[in-house]
Chains A and B, each alone.
Chain A
């Protein structure tokens, strides 16, 4: 049963052709090797290897039956619906406070009346914003969340909704197996510690197998949690990765992506968000390891269907290209057709030593295109020289120090 019409597949082939044809600027950005937090407790390798073979092994699925995953477009937030052919449904996160209607009406349209498992990855408003309304609207089987309180009214309302339904909370931790029937293997592979400085690292991370198809959902897990997963012995390899923390530079470490090797990456992110998500460095890392990148800010709700062998997406594959790390005078690569921010920069008469900069026309700061703090409003792209920009009244950003 098809609720969302399949769009053109032509885009996928185009993107494939481009990927195979090869863009040559595949230099992996160099960073120092990941540091593992010594203080963090880790799952013993023996345990997790058992877990790996037992719990994320391929499953046997009936032919023609499809697992359906909807990365719901909730702007700068997360909400993901997993529908298993056996009729079971899982919801990971519930968007912002303002997304209740979007989520509940989407779920109803998919015929969902019961959520067998609800996962609140971590207690930030962009993940639990509408969880109270979701819990009040649907039958709920089990609630899973990390043991980390928040002081917000949003959190209090979610807890109250859970309480009013007489539900208990299952603590999210690595090694927790989700009971969803034999068609899927579903295992939490994070959090691996009990206390983190950054709340994002409490994120429940789910690894899901259906047949030989594999999915990883990262929530907002950042480098520290990613390093723990890398060292945990869990099998991280996944066909589809829901990229951590909306594509922020705080996640998607090189070591982690090297283990996951996603064929597809999905970034849940809002158009023109104030935080500079996703980071150009993240997009570059993903495309450099050969991932096809889908973004909710460009495609809206993204639906993946897995038949146990193949995975199809019902969005036009947007070939997201990294901008060259343009600290040199190399010619900028052609802008991807899907890129929303690239305006053809005016080319000055002398193009001798021009560098591509991103400027904030309001704060009058200029940045390297790889900067973590790029403006999302009042942004303009300029091919210029440092001297010229300063002459024009711009000053260098303190983060990327161009």
Chain B
């Protein structure tokens, strides 16, 4: 199951999973360097960053908001 890091709070990454379910993941379970906005997936006991999907979402959302600013 993939998730998206919404934010960091203290020792936790707050991650949005499918259906907009929010869960706290201890930072220690994240691959080093995982950032806010990254798409992550569990592999070998750690959450790895899916770079391609992260980039795809960023592009998609900036396109979506492009013409929405006054």
Q: Contact residues of A with B, CB < 8 Å?
A: 96-97, 124-126, 129, 147, 149-157, 159-160, 162-163, 168-171, 199-200, 248, 274-277, 372-373
Across the interface, B10 reaches (CB within 8 A) one of A152, A154, A372, namely: A372
* Inter-subunit contact B16/A152 (CB<8 Å): yes
A125, B3: Cα distance in complex, Å: 13
Across the interface, A276 reaches (CB within 8 A) one of B7, B10, B20, B57, namely: B10
Closest 9 CB pairs of A and B: A275-B9, A151-B57, A275-B10, A151-B37, A125-B6, A168-B70, A97-B20, A152-B16, A124-B7
Across the interface, A275 reaches (CB within 8 A) one of B6, B12, B16, namely: B12
B29 in contact (CB, < 8 A): no
In the complex, given contacts A154-B20, A275-B9, what are 7 additional A-B residue pairs having Cβ atoms less than 8 angstroms apart? A124-B6, A125-B20, A129-B20, A149-B58, A153-B20, A157-B20, A274-B12
Point out the residues of chain B lying under 8 angstroms from A168, CB to CB: 68-70
Across the interface, A151 reaches (CB within 8 A) one of B4, B11, B12, namely: B4
A97, B20: Cα distance in complex, Å: 7
Q: How far is the CB of B21 from chain A (nearest CB, A)?
A: 8
A149, B22: Cα distance in complex, Å: 18
A199, B14: Cα distance in complex, Å: 14
Point out the residues of chain B lying under 8 angstroms from A276, CB to CB: 10
Q: What are 6 contact pairs spanning A and B, CB under 8 A?
A: A155-B61, A159-B64, A169-B69, A169-B70, A274-B9, A274-B24
- Among B11-70, those with CB < 8 Å from A are 11-12, 14, 16, 20-22, 24, 36-39, 54, 57-58, 61-62, 64-65, 68-70
